[in-house]
Amino acid sequence: MHELAIAAELLAGEEAYVVGGTVRDELLGRDVWDMDIACPDPERAARALAGRTDAPLFPLSERHGAWRVAGRDRPSIDFTPLHGTIEDDLARRDFTINAIARPLAGGDAVDPFEGTADLDRGVVRAVGESVFEDDPLRLLRAVRLEAELGFRIEPRTENLIRDHASLVAKPAGERILDELRRLPIAGWTRLDDLGLLEPLGGSLAHAARAAAVDSPNYRLVVFLQDSVGVLPISRELRRLAVALLRKPLPVDGSPRSIHRFRRDTEPWSLEALAFHGRDDLREAVLAARRDEPVEPLLRGDELGLPPGPQIGTLLEVIAEERAAGTISTREEALELVRRHAAD
C-alpha cells in the first residue's frame, strides 16, 4: 500500500505500529479496508501524510485524539495515540485478536496476549476482566466478531458478557446501530442467548421471519420491533418499521385491497408480507406493480378545485377506483370527481 510506505517514511525513527483489526485481518488473509497506526503524535503524522498524498484529512475523535487520512479509492489510514509503551497500549484493547501490533518500520509482531494463537484457534477472548466496563459496546462487538469471523467466544469471556449484559444499551445509539447492522441472523440469536437482546428492547418473537428478506434494516425491525425507534435511525428505516409493524394487511387479494395495502406500505409491501408470513399475496402485489399506470387519469390542476387537502383526497379516490377497475378513462374520472364534489 503506497500510503503506508509513505507513513513509514514520515515516521522513521519514531515508535509507530500498525495495530488492531488491521493486523488481525492481515494474519487471517482477509481484505483490509482501513489501516490503524498508533504513534506518539497522531495529528502531526496525519497532516504530514495528507500533505504528501493530497488526501482528505479530518479528526476522527477529538476526545481520543485520533485522525483519519481518507484514501482515494484506497483504504483510509487512522492515526491514534500510542498510550505508553506498545504493551501498555495493547493492554487497553478489547480482545486478544485485536491486541497484536506490527512495527511500522518492520520487525516481529508484538503479541503480549497471545492473540495470534487465538486466531489460529478461532477464539474471541477478552484481554482483561474490565473490557466491558471500560466500553460496553464491546459486548456487541464480541458477538459480531464471532459471527463475522466464524469464531467462538471462549467460556471466560462468555461469562463476562453475561455478567455485564445490563450495560449493553449504554453506548451512544450510533455506535450500537453500527454493530447491529453487521449482524447476521445467527448473531441476533446469539445476542439473545447471551442476555444482550432483551436489554436492547428486542426479542426473538418474529425470528422465524428473519430469513425472508436479506437486509440489515429488515433484521433490525424483526429483532428490535418497536425498540428500533429508540436508536438514531434514518427516516427511511423508520418508515420501514411503520410499514412492518403498524400497517394492516390486505383483507383479501382483490385489486382494491392490494392497492390500499401498497398505498400504505410501498416500497416495502413485499417485506411487510414476508414479516407477517403472507407470501400468498406476493404475486398480487407484484402484478399490481407491473400494471401500475405510467400516468394518472387526472392531475390536481385539472380537477377545477381550489388548492387544498381535498385535491389529494380526490386523486387517491381516482387512483383506487382505477386500480379496482371501476373507471379507466379521463371522462369517468371527471364524473367521479363531480359526484364526490356534490356530496
Q: What is the pLDDT of residues 92-102, one digit of tens each?
A: 999 999 999 99
Please give the pLDDT value at position 89. Answer: 94
Quick check: is 232 in a domain?
no
pLDDT reading at 291 higher than 80: yes
338 & 256 share domain: no
78 & 16 share domain: yes
259: containing domain: 247-290
Distance between CA atoms of residues 114 and 122, nearest Å: 12
Domain of 74, CATH number, reads: 3.30.460.10
254 & 317 share domain: no
Work out the pLDDT band at 62, boundaries 50, 70, 90.
low
Q: What's the pTM?
A: 0.88
Please give the pLDDT value at position 4. Answer: 79
113 & 39 share domain: yes
256 & 330 share domain: no
Quick check: is 106 in a domain?
yes
50 & 110 share domain: yes
Looking at 72-81, 108-117, 167-176, 320-329, which range is the least confident one? Answer: 72-81
Quick check: is 215 in a domain?
no
Domain end position, chosen among 121, 145, 168? 121
Please state, rounded to an integer, the average pLDDT across all residues of the chain.
Answer: 92
Work out the pLDDT band at 307, boundaries 50, 70, 90.
confident
* pLDDT 10s digits, 238-279: 999 999 999 999 999 999 999 999 999 999 999 999 999 999
Work out the pLDDT band at 282, boundaries 50, 70, 90.
very high
Quick check: is 151 in a domain?
no
Please give the pLDDT value at position 72. Answer: 65
Domain end position, chosen among 96, 121, 146? 121
254 & 319 share domain: no
pLDDT reading at 223 higher than 60: yes
Quick check: is 197 in a domain?
no
Count of structural domains, the chain: 3
Please give the pLDDT value at position 260. Answer: 96
259 & 335 share domain: no
pLDDT reading at 1 higher than 60: no
Please give the pLDDT value at position 65. Answer: 82
Please give the pLDDT value at position 70. Answer: 83
26 & 76 share domain: yes
Please give the pLDDT value at position 114. Answer: 96
Quick check: is 175 in a domain?
no
Quick check: is 95 in a domain?
yes
Domain end position, chosen among 121, 141, 168? 121
Looking at 49-63, 145-159, 211-225, 280-294, which range is the least confident one? Answer: 49-63
33 & 103 share domain: yes
Please give the pLDDT value at position 90. Answer: 96
276 & 312 share domain: no
Quick check: is 36 in a domain?
yes
- Mean of the pLDDT values across residues 167-171? 97
pLDDT reading at 230 higher than 70: yes
Work out the pLDDT band at 343, boundaries 50, 70, 90.
low
